[in-house]
C-alpha cells in the first residue's frame, strides 16, 4: 500500500518519506553543525543547488527535514520550514510577506506576542496593521486598504475561541489579492487543515499540540505552493531561527501520538465545558463544542473536532477567577497549552499582558476571562478539581 494513501493516524507514524540507511524505525538525531563533502566539486554542487546534499544545519538537516516533511504532509502543503519557536515562525512570515508601507489585517484576539511584536517593533519599520474580529467578514472587508497585503488569522482565536470562516476569508482575500496566513496552533492538522480551504500559509507553535509534552519550544511554517515556500525559506535561513536537531527529534516523537492525545482531551473538554456552563458561579463559557457557542455550526463544518481549549468568566470577575486559579490542585497554573497536562491561566495579565488595555477589551479579552487547556487526565478528577476551587469563591 502506498504511504501516500495512508490515513491521518498512520501518516503520523509513517509519514514524511524518511528511510534510515541502517534500518532505524525512528529518525536518528544528526546533532551536527556542518556536513562534509565528498569532493570540492560535490561541495560546489551543493551550494549551487545542483545536488541536494546537506551543507550546514542552519540550511538543512536530515532530522529537521524529516519533521518538516511529515508536518507538510499532515497539513497537505508543499513544504515545511521548521523554526526554533512559534514566534520564530511569526517573524519569518512577517519579514517574508510584508515590506515598508504595507498593511496587515489580523484577528484581534490573537496570540499576544504576535500582536505586540507587530505593533511595537514592525511598526518601527513602516509596517501598518489593523486588528478586527475576523469571525465577522464585514469587519475584514471594512479594514482593507489600498496597501493591504496580508490577512493573518488565528482560528479558533486565542483566547476568545472565536471561529473565522476560512472559505469566506479566502474569497475576500482573492478579491483583493491578499496573501492569507492561518495560525493553526489551537487545532493542529488533526482537527483543521486550512491549506485545503485555499489558505496560502499555515503555521504552528509546535511547543503545543504537535509536540504535546511541554518539554520543547518549536515552530513550523507550511506553504501550500512551491513559490510561497521559496519566498519563506530564505528568510528563515537568514534570520537564523532554525530548529535544533534534538528539538526536531523530540517533536517528531511527540507527533506520533497527536490524534490519540487530542481525541482523549476533547472527550474531557466537552464534559468540563458542560459542567462549567451549568455552574451557578460561571457567567459564560466559550467552547466550540457547546451549542451556545455563536459559531458552533461553523466549527462543525470547518473542523474535524472541537478541540481541547476553552475559556470562561466567573460572575465574580477577576477576583473570582484568581481564587479559582490559586486553588486548583490538578490543573497547573501555567501558560502554554496543548500538552498532556491541564493548564489554567489568566490571559489579561499573562499571555496578553503586553497588548494595550483598550485593544484587549475590543478583542473580547476581559479581565475576568480564564483560559483552560484540557489535558488527558481523568475527567472526573478535573471536574472535582474545578468544583472544589469554585466552592472557595
Q: What is the pLDDT of residues 195-232, one digit of tens each?
A: 999 999 999 999 999 999 999 999 999 999 999 999 99
State residue 3's pLDDT score: 54
Residue 4's pLDDT is what?
A: 64
Class in CATH terms, 258-390:
alpha beta
CATH number of 7-255: 3.40.640.10
- The sheet with strand 179-183 has its strands ordered as 79-83, 219-223, 201-205, 179-183, 148-154, 103-107, 128-132
Beta bridge partners of 180: 151
In angstroms, the CA 8 to CA 75 distance is 10
Q: Tell me what pLDDT residue 353 has.
A: 73
Q: Tell me: cis bond preceding 156? Omega within 30 of 0 counts.
A: yes
205: β partners: 219
What angle do the packed helices 226-239 and 86-97 form, to 10 degrees? 110
Residue ranges of the domains in the chain? 7-255, 258-390
Residue 267 CB coordination number (10 Å)? 14
User: Within 13 Å and on the Cβ side, how many CA atoms surround 152?
Assistant: 26
Positive/negative CA dihedral, 350, 356, 362, 363: negative
CA-CA distance, 311 to 391, in Å (whole number)?
Answer: 19
Provide the pLDDT for residue 273: 98
Question: Which of these ranges, 36-45, 225-234, 359-368, 383-392, has the smallest mean pLDDT?
Answer: 359-368
Q: 259 near 12, Cβ under 8 Å?
A: yes
CB 295 within 8 A of CB 287: no
**Is the separation of the CB atoms in 384 and 268 below 8 Å?**
no
What is the DSSP code string of 204-248? EETTTTTT-SS----EEEEESSHHHHHHHHHHHHHHT-BPPHHHH
Output phi, psi for 179, to 5 deg.
-80, 140
- pTM score: 0.95
- For the purposes of burial, counting CB atoms within 10 Å of the CB of 216, is it exposed (0-12), middle (13-18) or buried (19 or more)? buried
The set of residues, in sequence order, having a beta carbon less than 8 Å from that of 162 and lying 6+ positions away, is: 107, 109, 133, 134, 135, 155, 156, 294, 295, 364
Catalytic residues: 58, 111, 183, 208
Q: What is the pLDDT of residues 277-311, one digit of tens each?
A: 999 999 999 999 999 999 999 999 999 999 999 99
Measured CA to CA, the distance from residue 100 to residue 136 in angstroms comes to 28
Look at residue 1 in the predicted model and tell me its pLDDT.
44
Q: What is the pLDDT of residues 316-375, one digit of tens each?
A: 888 898 999 999 999 999 999 999 999 999 887 777 777 777 776 776 777 788 999 999
Amino acid at each position: 500500500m502506498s504511504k501516500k494513501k495512508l490515513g491521518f493516524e498512520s501518516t503520523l507514524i509513517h509519514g514524511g518519506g524518511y528511510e534510515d540507511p541502517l534500518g532505524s524505525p525512528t529518525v536518528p538525531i544528526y546533532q551536527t553543525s556542518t556536513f562534509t563533502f565528498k569532493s570540492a566539486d560535490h561541495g560546489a554542487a551543493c551550494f549551487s543547488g545542483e545536488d541536494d546534499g546537506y551543507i550546514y544545519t542552519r540550511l538543512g538537516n536530515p532530522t529537521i527535514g524529516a519533521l518538516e516533511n511529515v508536518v507538510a504532509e499532515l497539513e497537505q502543503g508543499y513544504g515545511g520550514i521548521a523554526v526554533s519557536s512559534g514566534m520564530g515562525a511569526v517573524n519569518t512570515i512577517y519579514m517574508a510577506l510584508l515590506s515598508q508601507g504595507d498593511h496587515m489585517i489580523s484577528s484581534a484576539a490573537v496570540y499576544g506576542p504576535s500582536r505586540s511584536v507587530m505593533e511595537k517593533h514592525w511598526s518601527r519599520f513602516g509596517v501598518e496593521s489593523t486588528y478586527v474580529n475576523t469571525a465577522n467578514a464585514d469587519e475584514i472587508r471594512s479594514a482593507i486598504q489600498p496597501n493591504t497585503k496580508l490577512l493573518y488569522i488565528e482560528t479558533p482565536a486565542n483566547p476568545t475561541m472565536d471561529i473565522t470562516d476560512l472559505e469566506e476569508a479566502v474569497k475576500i482575500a482573492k478579491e483583493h489579492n491578499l496573501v492569507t496566513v492561518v495560525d493553526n496552533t489551537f487545532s493542529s492538522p488533526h482537527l483543521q487543515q486550512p491549506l485545503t480551504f485555499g489558505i496560502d500559509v499555515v503555521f504552528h507553535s509546535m511547543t503545543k499540540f504537535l509536540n504535546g509534552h511541554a518539554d520543547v519550544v518549536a515552530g513550523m511554517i507550511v506553504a501550500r505552493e512551491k513559490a510561497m515556500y521559496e519566498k519563506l525559506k530564505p528568510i528563515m535561513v537568514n534570520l537564523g531561527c532554525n530548529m535544533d536537531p534534538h528539538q526536531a527529534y523530540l517533536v517528531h516523537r511527540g507527533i506520533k501520538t497527536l490524534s490519540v492525545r487530542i481525541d482523549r482531551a476533547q472527550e474531557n473538554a466537552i464534559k468540563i465545558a458542560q459542567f462549567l456552563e451549568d455552574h451557578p458561579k460561571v457567567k459564560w463559557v466559550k467552547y466550540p463544542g457547546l451549542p451556545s457557542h455563536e459559531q458552533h455550526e461553523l466549527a462543525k463544518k470547518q473542523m474535524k473536532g472541537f478541540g481541547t481549549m476553552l475559556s470562561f468568566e466567573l460572575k465574580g470577575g477577576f477576583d473570582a477567577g484568581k481564587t479559582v486559579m490559586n486553588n486548583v490542585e490538578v490543573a497547573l497554573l501555567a501558560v502554554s497549552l496543548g500538552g498532556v497536562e491541564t493548564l489554567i491561566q489568566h490571559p489579561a495579565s499573562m499571555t496578553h499582558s503586553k497588548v494595550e488595555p483598550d485593544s484587549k477589551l475590543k478583542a473580547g479579552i476581559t479581565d475576568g476571562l480564564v483560559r483552560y487547556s484540557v489535558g488527558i487526565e481523568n475527567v472526573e478528577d478535573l471536574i472535582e478539581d474545578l468544583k472544589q476551587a469554585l466552592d472557595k469563591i
